[in-house]
Homo-oligomer: A and B are copies of this chain.
Amino acid sequence: MPVNLTAPDPDSLLAIDGVELGFAEAGIRKAGRRDLMLVRLASGAQVAGVFTRNSFAAAPVQVCREHLAAGASVRALLVNAGNANCGTGAPGLADARRSCELVAAAIGCGASQVLPFSTGVILEPLPMAKIEAALPQCVASLGAANWAQAASAIMTTDTVPKGGSTTVKLDAATVRITGIAKGVGMLQPNMATMLAYLATDAAVAAPVLQALVRRVADRSFNRVTVDGDTSTNDSFVLIATGRAAMVPIADDADPRLPLLEAALVDVAARLAQAIARDGEGATKFITVDVRGAASEDEALRVARGVANSPLVKTALFASDPNLGRLLMAIGNAGIADFDTSRLQLRLGGVTVIENGGRAASYREEDGARVMQPAEITIDIDLGRGSAKTTVWTCDFSYDYVKINAEYRT
């Protein structure tokens, strides 16, 4: 059961001028569920992406990088769930390219103007015949109001579709932002079997958009972790259709850029948090705030160390205020010359550690009480500087083991 997360109301997902979405049941891994999704972009859209750093980047990720590097304007995205097309060698690459050719033929553009994405089981050949057969259904269903269906078509072991929208006023124009994502398992440190697509009708020049997608990822998807594993297929794509009535944002000093960025981060962070809320077997949603660090990198190492420690995560599952494990995880972050006597730690707002040891005011019943809610914030002050960061995660339950032990059966 996801933690305080339900499917978005389809009406809440705003259509983005210049973006149409189609979907189909291709039966890639299981019959009777949506597993193929097509995005068609109007001419003039700018697209930028960030991808997994795993050495085994899947075939579609390799093709995405190629097509984006080639610089042809992107006109379509094809996403399949159920098969990751990873570790599939030259035939897998050929399949990814062939997918692009099929889409190109169907909507009338060049193959290099199509970006392919896959998520699901690794090391198995992509069932091209099923994709080819279902593609016409995707094309036929293309529509601007299909964000909710699109969100459901990219799910694997997600239990609910994930999407969100917002608007932001940039001078006279009110631009829209809508995003969808899928997550669960194999998340961190640079995203997940995570696919996320954010589209806005704002007009943003290509170089500005490329820098923007990295900054947005660093403040959202790169701050979420389920189990410390990182997928071979992670992709986050930012689309700016430029259909809003505005002069394009053409350089990084444009005063409208911070406003747009904040709105994009707002939606992306909600999606990232939704991924942690729907982590495999999650029963709790955990926010790890680290401040007082000497650098943001140091803050991030501590936050991820705590968020990924199996001993901390099982204690969170048990609602056990096991302060020792928190200290252990912080102490393992490899901070040089760490004066542990400066450490302060609050759990759900209650000061539990001060001066590196149990707080004088701390009572076990307070710790037990603040561990009960489904959402818990761990607030760590290292007392070393002014850098800070936030990481979102979930606990580690019997169901995590169950889901991952039985994934292929």
Contacts and interface: CB of A to CB of B under 8 A. Distances in A.
Does more than half of chain A's interface fall in helix, strand or loop, or is it mixed? loop
B398 A338 contact: no
A331 B397 contact: no
Contacts of A338: 55
Question: How many identical subunits does the complex contain?
Answer: 2
Interface in A83-99: 84, 86-89, 92
A374 interface: no
Query: Could you say which of A56, A92, A122 has the most chain B C-beta atoms within 10 Å of its C-beta?
Result: A56
A54 interface: yes
Contact of A186 (B53, B185, B328, B407): B328
Interface in A198-247: 227-232
Interface string A397-409: 1101110111111
A323 interface: yes
A102 interface: no
A324 B122 contact: yes
A409 B84 CA distance: 42
Contacts of A88: 357
Interface in A293-345: 308-311, 314-315, 317-318, 320, 322-325, 327-335, 338, 340-341
B405 A331 contact: no
Query: Could you say which of A311, A323, A335, A409 has the most chain B C-beta atoms within 10 Å of its C-beta?
Result: A311
Contacts of A355: 89
A54 B398 contact: no
A139 B168 CA distance: 76
A297 B218 CA distance: 28
Interface string A377-409: 000000000000000000011101110111111
A133 interface: no
Contacts of A262: none
B122 A325 contact: yes
A317 B232 CA distance: 22
A86 to B, nearest CB: 7
15 contacts: A54-B331, A56-B328, A84-B324, A87-B327, A87-B357, A88-B357, A121-B324, A227-B310, A228-B308, A228-B309, A310-B400, A314-B405, A318-B409, A320-B407, A398-B401
Given A55-B340, A227-B311, 12 more contacts: A55-B335, A86-B327, A123-B323, A123-B357, A185-B311, A186-B311, A229-B332, A232-B324, A310-B396, A314-B400, A315-B405, A400-B401
